[in-house]
Amino acid sequence: MKRLLLVCFFVATLCVSAQEHYRTMPLAENIKTLQVGIDGQKLSLPVIRLDDTDRICVKFDEMSHDRKNYYYSIRHCNADWTLSNITEMEAIDGSSTGTINDFESSFNTTFLYTHYAIRFPNDQVKFKISGNYRVTIYEDNNPDKVVAVACFSVVEPKVSIEGTIRGNTDMEINRRYQQIDFSVDNSRFPIKDVFSELKILIRQNGRCDNQVLGVQPSYTTSSKQSYVNNRALIFEGGNEYRNFDCSSIYTFGNGVDNIKYHAPYYHATLLPDNSRAGKPYEKIEDANGRFVINLQNDEADSVNADYMFVHFTIPTEKPFFDGSLYVLGDLNYNLFDRSVRMEYNAQHSAYEQTVLLKQGGYNYMYAFVKKGETSGSLQPMEGSLWQTRNEYVIYAYYRGWGERYDRLIGMQVVE
């Protein structure tokens, strides 16, 4: 009997470890400009309060004028973005599946596309509990034809979080790194065992590759948990994001060298970027990696903004042989994949890449990923400075003894 229990435990452990950690990203080539945020608020985090009037909006473009039959399903997730063990009925009041009926075709654009949108909560969907949620979008009511995944969170504020960013870290003083110190005030929300019941997730500028999950408090009392002088909370300072504006084909915006029409599409060539490694800090206004879809002098930018091929160039005498260089930012969901991997052109002595993007304003940087690693470093091309103004988002999850899911009981932005 003991042997049977051990085998069952081993199989269950394998199943849990094999679970996918979900994140917002398209899964089909014809899906572009997938965005998740608060409805009507640009540059917002995909987080709403439980029982509030705000709604999450998931929107995307399908690159044709052929109407597709898209459906969605919603599932609750754990703090680490694996699927939780609770049923849809326990998390959602209404139906966890439905059709996407809000769509509109592009007008007078060189690239044909159809814009789709869905908002939550709605007449069919209301959230019963807090936590992370995954929306799976699939075609023809076939769950095997998934085209995109969108992730957002619902918070029930039970604790307050305060944090600070400092350049005087436990590794070095005012040079390349930043350290986060913060505290969680749970005086109005008793927690019996903070080491097992409270889970913390910290993200820098929306990135998942360098996020910190599961850090434990340095000091604890019944009403306050302090996370200070913890080496796990040290991040590269990086640099302020580069930016460009291609919202008009007639007036070249910031960072754009030229926009030309090469039949049948527009091409935007950015000004060549230079390495900022080893250079002093320069204050630049940015949006911490985000982008905004915008068409100058047109309020209907969701269907009137065109797509264009955007050409990135960064000159360098020699290529990197121990890793790859990527364009980093929300423009590619902070993913390191082939579509944004820079290719070295020996004839031009420069890294180059072309990305299809919708008109608007974008933030980006160049991240270096060593062979065999998954986390990107900004130091080789952007430098890393303690003065950089980064956005850190702290999420506090709670799962009491005997409970089956992680509640999101607090969230705080620290800049």
14 domain-assigned: no
166 domain-assigned: no
Would you place residue 3 in the very low, low, confident or very high pLDDT band (cuts 50, 70, 90)? very low
Residues 70 and 132 in one domain: yes
129 domain-assigned: yes
- pLDDT given at position 286: 96
164 domain-assigned: no
373 domain-assigned: yes
Would you place residue 18 in the very low, low, confident or very high pLDDT band (cuts 50, 70, 90)? low
**Can you give 103-159 as a three-state secondary structure string?**
EEECCCCCCCCEEEEEEECCCCEEECCCEEEEEEEEECCCCCCEEEEEEEEEECCCC
What is the count of structural domains for the chain?
A: 3
Q: Chain-centre distance of CA 306, in angstroms?
A: 23
Predicted confidence (pLDDT) per residue in 185-206, tens digit: 999 999 999 999 999 999 999 9
Which of 155, 190, 224 terminates a domain? The answer is: 155
Taking CA atoms, 89 is separated from 83, 127, 129, in Å, by 14, 10, 11
CA distance 388 to 393: 16
Residues 396 and 366 in one domain: no
Residues 99 and 201 in one domain: no
Q: Residue 13 pLDDT > 90, yes or no? A: no
CATH number for 46? 2.60.40.10
Predicted confidence (pLDDT) per residue in 227-274, tens digit: 999 999 999 999 999 999 999 999 888 999 999 999 999 999 999 999
Structure tokens at 332: 């590619």
Residues 298 and 335 in one domain: yes
Note down the domain range covering 374.
242-382
Taking CA atoms, 72 is separated from 4, 58, 92, 99, 148, in Å, by 39, 11, 14, 6, 10
Would you place residue 172 in the very low, low, confident or very high pLDDT band (cuts 50, 70, 90)? very high
The residue-averaged pLDDT of 63-74 equals: 97
Residues 333 and 410 in one domain: no
Q: Residue 12 pLDDT > 50, yes or no? A: no
pTM tops 0.95: no
Residues 233 and 338 in one domain: no
Structure tokens at 133: 């949620």
Would you place residue 24 in the very low, low, confident or very high pLDDT band (cuts 50, 70, 90)? very high
